[in-house]
């Protein structure tokens, strides 16, 4: 129903901006995009969309955003890479205000479907001590031992979505994202994640001529990384699957790589080999985290499948352009 109003919160961010772009491509003509950031700091902004700058920590802002909406995609949160979430635990926890007020507003104004963007940081830390992680199943979130701060807020908000479904009949959906990356995302400033950070560091090393790079940790930690196009496709499928009402599901690639392997892939794209230095005092996170996609394959007959090499190439090329545009004094969003 392309004329129904769709609300995207966190629309000035990476995933929210990609979601708005995808809805426009599909012909949706009534989109409300909301973010706390000034418009000139949004990664993607479109003149044919109702763009609002609102602080969704505030209940009245959530009411303003949700009024008249048919579907809500809630991506608004205080978050970033491991360095950010380890050093901003209280700020990450305060994001619970956003989801609480948005759920209340969605229930108040009769929203038909509500999507909540959760995270693999909800998973029990004891199940992530081995770099050769075979994959985290949805049930591995309990018994609860989530990432301190950010992960606990996500896990609590998942439960809120469940209980709003049980008590008020709100059709909620919950996806646990595993390390989303791609163009039009954060690549500098402290909130960027590993793929973007390594791309930027490689580009900077080549630009400076120093030909060395510093890696956080010892390079053996493993993760899977999901390309933004797969993320957006998965969100759409999850949102409109009635088998997934208030049921958390993994949304991530199962292609596991170490940080060292990830850097080697970026070096290959750039055509360079750098000397590696390891900062063992930097935030590292868990030893191994991967997505077990058994459930999403069963329910959706699909899983994120963009090869990391291909997604990294597109990401590297975009960051390369942004880096050199910034060097020339052109406006870029970092």
- Cα(203)–Cα(54) distance, rounded to whole angstroms? 35
Q: Rounded to an integer, what distance in angstroms lies between the CA atom of residue 123 and that of residue 182?
A: 24
> What's the whole-model pTM score?
0.96
For 299-325, b where at least 16 C-beta lie within 10 A, e where not — what string? Answer: ebeebbebebeebbebbbebbbebbee
The arrangement of secondary structure in 6-181+224-251, i.e. its CATH architecture, is 3-Layer(aba) Sandwich (3.40)
Domain boundaries, the chain: 6-181+224-251
User: Residue 1: what pLDDT?
Assistant: 58
φ, ψ for residue 215, nearest 5 deg: -110, 140
> Among all residues, which ones are annotated catalytic?
150
- How far apart (Å, rounded) are the C-alpha atoms in residues 154 and 144? 12
Residue 331's pLDDT is: 87
Point out the residues of the chain with pLDDT beneath 70.
Answer: 1-2
Q: Output phi, psi for 157, to 5 deg.
A: -65, -35
* C-alpha closest to that of 74 among 84, 82, 66: 66
pLDDT score, position 90: 96
Beta bridge partners of 216: 279
């Amino acid at each position: 129903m392309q004329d129904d109003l769709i609300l995207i919160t966190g629309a000035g961010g990476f995933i929210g901006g990609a979601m708005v772009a995808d809805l426009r491509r599909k012909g949706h003509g009534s989109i409300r995009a909301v973010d706390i950031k000034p418009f000139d700091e949004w990664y993607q902004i479109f003149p044919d969309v109702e763009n609002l700058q609102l602080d969704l920590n505030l209940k009245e802002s959530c009411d303003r955003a949700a009024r008249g909406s048919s579907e809500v995609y809630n991506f608004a949160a205080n978050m970033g890479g491991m360095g950010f979430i380890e050093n901003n635990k209280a700020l990450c926890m305060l994001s619970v205000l956003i989801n609480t007020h948005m759920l209340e507003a969605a229930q108040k104004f009769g929203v038909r479907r509500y999507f909540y963007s959760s995270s693999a940081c909800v998973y029990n830390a004891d199940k992530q001590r081995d770099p050769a992680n075979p994959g985290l199943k949805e049930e591995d979130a309990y018994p609860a031992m989530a990432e301190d701060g950010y992960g606990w807020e996500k896990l609590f908000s998942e439960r809120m979505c469940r209980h709003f479904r049980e008590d008020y009949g709100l059709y909620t959906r919950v996806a646990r994202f595993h390390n989303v990356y791609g163009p039009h995302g954060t690549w500098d400033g402290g909130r960027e994640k590993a793929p973007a950070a390594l791309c930027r560091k490689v580009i900077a090393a080549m630009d400076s001529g120093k030909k060395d790079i510093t890696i956080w940790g010892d390079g053996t930690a493993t993760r899977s990384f999901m390309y933004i196009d797969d993320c957006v496709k998965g969100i759409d499928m999850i949102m409109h699957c009635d088998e997934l009402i208030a049921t958390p599901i993994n949304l991530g690639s199962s292609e596991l790589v170490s940080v060292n392997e990830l850097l080697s892939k970026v070096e290959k794209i750039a055509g360079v080999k750098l000397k590696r230095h390891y900062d063992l005092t930097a935030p590292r996170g868990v030893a191994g985290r991967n997505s077990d996609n058994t459930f999403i394959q069963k329910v959706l007959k699909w899983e994120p499948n963009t090869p990391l090499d291909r997604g990294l190439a597109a990401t590297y090329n975009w960051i390369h352009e942004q880096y050199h545009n910034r060097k020339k004094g052109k406006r870029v969003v970092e």
